Amino acid sequence: MTDAPVVDELTPPVRTLMGPGPSDVHPRVLRAMGTPLVGHLDPAFLDVMNEVQELLRYVFRTDNQWTLPISGTGSAAMETAFANLVEPGDTVLVPSNGYFGHRMASMAERAGGAVVSVDAPWGEPLDPADVRDAFETHQPEVFGFVHAETSTGVRQPAVSELTAIAHAHDAFVIADTVTSLGGVELRVDAWDIDIAYSAAQKCLSCPPGASPITLSDRAMDRILTRETPVRSWYLDLSLLEGYWGTERSYHHTAPITNVYALREALRLVAEEGIERRWERHREVARTLVSGLADLGLDRYAAEEYWLPSLNTVRVPDDVDESVLIDHLLSEYGIEIAAGLGDLAGEVFRIGCMGRSARLANVQYLLTALEESLEQRRS
C-alpha cells in the first residue's frame, strides 16, 4: 500500500478562453456553483428546474414543453437525440461536411440506424438541392444537420428550407446547435426543428455538465410510442420524462451544481436579451475577423455562411501552427485551437463565444497574435 498522496491545493492558471469551448465563465455563474447543495427532489430544487426549463425555452425560441438539460456534456445531449429518435432499421441522413456530422453517423449507427450521407466539402454548408436529392434517393426517417459546425466555422443557412424538405417527406429533423445556442440566431419553432440539442460551455458560457435539449410534441410522441426500448437506460427520455415532466420522480441524481450554473448563465442571457446577444456576437467577431485580416490571417469560411462564434483562419505557410498555439498559451494565457479532422494543420480555430465575445478579449488576442507572429517570422 502506498502512503496517502500529498496533492497541493488546486490553483489552475487564469486563462483567456478563445478556443472552440469552453469559453470564459461569468463570475456570477461561478458564484452560483458555490451556493449550498440541496437534494435533487427538494422542493427548492424543483423550482430551479422549472426556471431552467423556462429560460431554456426562451433561449431556444420555442414553446416546446419537452425542453430540459441532459446530465453530461454536449455529446450526451446529442446521443439523447439519436438514441431516442432512431429505431433499429431507420434510415438516418447525416452531413459529411464536418467533424460533428461524422459523430452523428456513429451515434445513429449505434442506435441501430442505417446511415446515409449528404455531401458537401468541408468548409461549405449543405446545399438544399443536395438534401432534396438525398431525400428522394434514400427516403430517410431522420435527418440530422449541424447548425454551427465547430470544426469548419461554417453556419448552415436556410435551415427552414432543410426542415421543409424533411417534413415534406415525413421525416424528423435533429439540429446540432452546440456552437450556436445563445450566440447565433436560432429559432427552433419558427424554423420547425423537431429536436435541437446543445452544450453549456460554448455561447452560454457555463461550465460543461448539463446540456440543453428541446423536442417538439411530434418528436416526443414518436419516442413515447417506439416499438423497441431505447438502448441507453440513462438517456431514455421516456424514463427521464418522470423527473423532468410533471411527476418529478427519481430517475438519476441530477448534477445539482451544474443546473445552478446553467440557471445563472441563462439568466444572464435573458437579462441581455437573446437578439441583442446574437448581435453582440456578430459585432465582436466582426472586429476579430478584420483584425486577423490586418495580421495577414484570412478567414476560411465565406461571408454568407460565416459563423461568428467560431472563426476559422488559414494557417500561413511560414507559420508552425502548434508552436504559435503553445506560445499564446504559455506567454499570454490565451487558448485558441488547431484544426480538426480534414482541416488539421490547415486552420486555427478562434472562438468568440458568450462572455469571451468581448472587445477586451479580442484586442488582447490580436495584440498577442501580432507579437507572436512577428517573433515566429523574425
Ligand X SMILES: Cc1ncc(COP(=O)(O)O)c(C=O)c1O
Verify binding: residue 240, ligand X, rule CB under 6 A. no
- Is 94 within 8 Å of 117 (Cβ atoms)? yes
CA distance linking residue 277 with residue 267, whole number of Å: 13
Verify binding: residue 297, ligand X, rule CB under 6 A. no
Per CB under 6 A, the segment of 2-10, 171-179, 282-290, 361-369 that binds ligand X is: 171-179
Q: Given the complex with ligand X, which of 20 and 140 has the nearer CB atom?
A: 20
Residues 127-156 that bind ligand X (CB under 6 A): 146, 150
For residue 247, with 0-12 CB atoms within 10 Å meaning exposed, 13-18 middle and 19 or more buried, which class applies?
exposed
Task: State the minimum distance, in angstroms, from the CB of residue 73 to ligand X.
Answer: 3
For ligand X (CB under 6 A), the number of binding residues is: 14
Q: Which of 122, 123, 108, 230 is nearest to 172 (CA)?
A: 108
Q: Which of 234, 245, 228, 270 is nearest to 77 (CA)?
A: 234
For residue 364, with 0-12 CB atoms within 10 Å meaning exposed, 13-18 middle and 19 or more buried, which class applies?
middle
For every residue of 160-182, DSSP letters joined together read HHHHHHHHHTT-EEEEE-TTTTT
Verify binding: residue 352, ligand X, rule CB under 6 A. no
Instruction: Find residue 91's DSSP bridge partners.
Output: 114
The contact pattern for ligand X, residues 58-97, with x = CB under 6 A and - = no contact, is ---------------xxx--x-------------------
Candidate list 19, 208, 339, 351; residue touching ligand X; CB under 6 A? 208
Q: Would you tell me how many other CB atoms lie within 10 Å of the CB of residue 8?
A: 5
Candidate list 79, 90, 141, 176; residue touching ligand X; CB under 6 A? 176
Task: State the minimum distance, in angstroms, from the CB of residue 179 to ligand X.
Answer: 5
Per CB under 6 A, the segment of 6-14, 128-136, 176-184, 214-222 that binds ligand X is: 176-184
Verify binding: residue 21, ligand X, rule CB under 6 A. yes
Outline where 304-358 has alpha helix (H): 321-327
Q: Given the complex with ligand X, which of 140 and 351 has the nearer CB atom?
A: 351
Task: State the minimum distance, in angstroms, from the CB of residue 367 to ligand X.
Answer: 27
Torsion of CA 272, 186, 155, 202, to 10 degrees: 50
CA distance linking residue 179 with residue 174, whole number of Å: 15
Task: State the minimum distance, in angstroms, from the CB of residue 106 to ligand X.
Answer: 12
Task: State the minimum distance, in angstroms, from the CB of residue 250 to ligand X.
Answer: 25
Which single residue is written with the C-alpha cell 453582440? 280
Q: Which of 348, 202, 217 is nearest to 289 (CA)?
A: 348
Task: State the minimum distance, in angstroms, from the CB of residue 259 to ligand X.
Answer: 16
Residue number with the smallest Cβ distance to ligand X: 74
Q: Given the complex with ligand X, which of 21 and 140 has the nearer CB atom?
A: 21
Residues 96-115 that bind ligand X (CB under 6 A): 100
Residue ranges in contact with ligand X by CB under 6 A:
20-21, 73-75, 78, 100, 146, 150, 176, 178-179, 199, 208
